[in-house]
Amino acid sequence: MPSVDEHANEHDGRGADPLIGKRLREYLILELLGKGGMAKVYKARHVLLNEIRAIKFLRPELRERQECVARFHREAQVMVQLRNKHLVMLYEFGTVGQELLFLVMEYLEGETLRKRLRRTSWLPVSEAVRIIQHVAIGLSEAHKHGIVHRDISPDNIQILQKDGEEIAKVIDFGIAKSLVAGGGKITQTMKLVGKAEYVAPEQICLPVGEDSKDAVDHRADIYSLGVTFYELLTGNKPFEARSSKAYLVKHLTEAPKPLSETNPLIRVSPAIEDLVLRMLAKKKEERPESMDSLFMELAALSHDQPLLTPV
C-alpha cells in the first residue's frame, strides 16, 4: 500500500514517528507539531512548490470508526467553504491507500493565544480588543456560510505575523457544525460539545431530539468568544470549577463576576465590561446579535475607525 514513498529519506532518529523524514506524494514530512485523540498534525514541505504546510492525519486505528471518518470529512467540507485572512486555510483533502486520511492546511508560524496567556497572564485592553476583532471577522465569514465553530477558546486562536502586522486566526474546525446542511441531533442534556470552560449554555442543555439549527446558532460562538475575552482581560476565566460537570452547571446557573473583582490589578472601561458580560448572557437573545455587530461595537469603544469591517 503506497501510504508513504519508500524511496524518500529514511527516518533520521527524531523521535519514534515513522512518518518523519518520509514522502507522502509531493509532501516531505518534517516534524510532528501536535497530536490529539483523533489526529496528528505534521509540518511538511511541498517539494514541488517549496512551501511549508501543515498536514493533519486521522489516526489509522480510527479508520474503521465511521463517526471519526465522518467527522474528519465534515471538517474538510466546512473548511473548504471558508476564505478569510482570519481563518486557517485548507489546501487539500484526500486519502492514500486505505489507511491515511489527511487534510493539508496552511502552516501557521507563531503561537496560540493560550501560549501567550501563559507567558503574560493577561493582555492590555487594546491588544485584547484587536484579537477579538480579528476573531470576529473570521467567524463572521463562517457564520455567513451557516457554520458554527462550537470550540472557540485561546487554544484555537493562533497569533502570527503576516505582511508586517500581527494577526489572529481561528483554527481547528473539527467539531464545527453546518446549520445549512441539515445538522440533525448533536447532543443531549448535560452532554458536552466543546470545552467545558468555554461552552455556551445552549450547547449543554439541548433537549433530546431538538434540531441543532433551532437550538445552537452563531450566538454560541459569541458566548465562547466572550469567555475568551474575559480571560484575555483578567487572566482568569469567568467561572472556575474542578470538574467538567461543575463548569457546565456554572455556565447554566451562575452569573460571572465583574472583571475588576476577578482581577483588581486591571482597569477596563465600564463600556467594554458591559459588552463582555452581554456576550456571556445565558439567553442567546441577550447577546450581541452577530459577529459584525460585535466588531462594530469594539471599534466604537476603542475609538478606532473600523478598518477591517466585515463585508
Whether 214 is catalytic:
no
Residue 310 lies in a domain: no
Answer yes or no: do 119 and 267 share one domain. Answer: yes
Lowest mean pLDDT among 4-18, 36-50, 212-226, 259-273: 4-18
| Structural domains in the chain (count) | 2
Say whether both 127 and 241 belong to one domain: yes
Q: Are residues 148 and 231 in the same domain?
A: yes
Q: Among residues 5, 12, 17, 151, which one is catalytic?
A: 151
Does 144 share its domain with 214?
A: yes
* Last residue of one domain, picked from the residues 59, 84, 106: 106
Domain boundaries, position 53: 23-106
- Examine residue 5 and state whether it is found in any structural domain, yes or no: no
Instruction: Give the domain-ending residue among 74, 106, 138.
Output: 106
Cα distances (Å, whole numbers) of residue 127 to 64, 73, 160, 228: 45, 35, 13, 13
- Residue 4 pLDDT class (50, 70, 90 cuts): very low
- Higher-scoring residue by pLDDT: 177, 198: 198
Per residue in 273-308, pLDDT (tens digit) is: 999 999 999 999 999 999 999 999 999 997 644 433
Residue 37 lies in a domain: yes
Does 9 fall in a domain? no
- Band (pLDDT 50/70/90 cuts) for residue 214 is low
pTM of the model as a whole: 0.86
Q: Which long-range contacts (CB under 8 A, 24 or more apart) does 177-180 make?
A: 177/147, 177/148, 177/150, 177/212, 177/216, 178/74, 178/77, 178/78, 178/145, 178/146, 178/147, 179/146, 179/147, 179/148, 179/212, 179/213, 179/217, 180/145, 180/146
Q: What is the mean pLDDT of residues 212-228?
A: 87
More confident residue, 132 or 194: 132
Higher pLDDT, 178 or 264: 264
Residues 139, 268 within the same domain: yes
Both 198 and 55 in a single domain?
no
Q: Which of 56, 71, 106 is the last residue of a domain?
A: 106
Choice between 189 and 129, residue whose per-residue pLDDT is larger: 129
Of 16-25, 46-55, 217-226, least confident by mean pLDDT is: 16-25
> Is there a single domain that holds both residue 38 and residue 95?
yes
Q: Identify whether residues 179 and 97 lie together within a single domain.
A: no
51 found inside a domain:
yes
Please indicate, yes or no, whether residues 160 and 266 belong to a single structural domain of this protein.
yes
Residue type at 221? D
